[in-house]
């Protein structure tokens, strides 16, 4: 995900672009690139490394695997990935910031292959982190899995949203409301919006049908759900300075469930070419 503030209300009524099997195959290839890059970034996020160095690593990896970094230039964004540290929720711009022991960093990566896009995010520890930080990351990752579990034909987007919100709030956390998930594929941001919470419009939530492709992405805060935007016009951080975590997958709704296009395919070494097909699951 990368984009300006998105309102999860009326925008959900826009026409949803269903994808055919050829388009999903290209998204699958893009998804494996994203998964591989996230894996490399997690291994490289060590104390003393700058976020700018990680951005350059990601660009080189995306291009070496045959993709194009989707984020660079999108809406004027100046980097290849988003790198958001500690209380930064999303859209952190890589640069000279040096990572320190105990930081947590959220990487958001998009790759384009033959005109089709996949998008995913993960929050990782820099060295040894606190027990509270580990718990936040675990619960956010679980919240994503809970949302993916609801991504099947006959359910609605609100079923995904409710599952994420229920799990995060049951553990004492809050989900960000100003920024939401989205459709993805031919463009970075497509209909429908995929909020991480449910409001009064749940009954009008779009029904999930085969061919829909969605970026599901809980952003979970230790404290309040409220966020503020930095003067750079991009970085969002928690209003109260609490830690935040962000996990995301691109998924395709199938006839009998969903396929997670950005899930790392089994049995591949980190230096391998992207696998042809991702495993299903959350």
Q: How high is the pLDDT of residue 244?
A: 99
Q: How high is the pLDDT of residue 8?
A: 43
Q: How high is the pLDDT of residue 270?
A: 33
Query: Which CATH number is associated with domain 10-260?
Result: 3.90.230.10
| pLDDT 10s digits, 155-187 | 999 999 999 999 999 999 999 999 999 999 999
Q: How high is the pLDDT of residue 2?
A: 66
Q: How high is the pLDDT of residue 265?
A: 81
Q: How high is the pLDDT of residue 10?
A: 40
Structure tokens at 190: 């497509």
Residue from 108, 106, 104 nearest 80 by CA: 108
Q: How high is the pLDDT of residue 62?
A: 98
Distance (Å, whole) CA 231 – CA 223: 22
pTM score, two decimals? 0.91
Q: How high is the pLDDT of residue 274?
A: 41
CB burial string 135-163: b at 16+ within 10 A, e below: ebbebbbbbbbbbbbbbbbebbbbbbbbb
> Over the chain, what is the mean pLDDT?
91
pLDDT beneath 50: ranges in the chain: 5-12, 267-282
Q: How high is the pLDDT of residue 266?
A: 58
Q: How high is the pLDDT of residue 224?
A: 98
């Amino acid at each position: 995900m990368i984009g300006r503030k998105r309102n999860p209300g009326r925008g959900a009524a826009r026409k949803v672009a269903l994808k055919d099997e050829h388009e999903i195959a290209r998204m699958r290839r893009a998804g494996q690139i994203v998964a591989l890059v996230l894996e490399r970034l997690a291994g490289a996020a060590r104390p003393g490394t700058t976020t700018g160095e990680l951005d350059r690593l990601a660009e080189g990896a995306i291009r070496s695997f045959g993709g194009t970094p989707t984020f660079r230039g999108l809406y004027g964004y100046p980097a290849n990935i988003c790198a958001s540290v500690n209380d930064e929720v999303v859209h952190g711009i890589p640069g000279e910031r040096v990572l320190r022991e105990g930081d947590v960093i959220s990487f958001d990566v998009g790759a384009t292959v033959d005109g089709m896009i996949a998008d995913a995010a993960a929050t990782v520890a820099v060295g040894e982190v606190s027990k509270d930080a580990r718990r936040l990351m675990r619960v956010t990752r679980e919240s994503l899995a809970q949302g993916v579990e609801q991504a099947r034909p006959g359910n609605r987007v609100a079923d995904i949203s409710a599952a994420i919100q229920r799990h995060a709030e049951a553990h004492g956390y809050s989900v960000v409301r100003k920024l939401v998930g989205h459709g993805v594929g031919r463009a970075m941001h497509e209909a429908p919006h995929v909020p991480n919470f449910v409001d009064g419009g749940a009954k009008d939530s779009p029904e999930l049908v085969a061919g829909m492709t969605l970026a599901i992405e809980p952003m979970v805060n230790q404290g309040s759900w409220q966020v503020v935007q930095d003067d750079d016009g991009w970085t969002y951080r928690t209003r109260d300075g609490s830690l935040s975590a962000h996990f995301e997958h691109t998924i395709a709704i199938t006839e009998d469930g969903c396929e997670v296009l950005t899930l790392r395919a089994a049995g591949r070494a980190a230096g391998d070419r992207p696998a042809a097909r991702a495993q299903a699951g959350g």
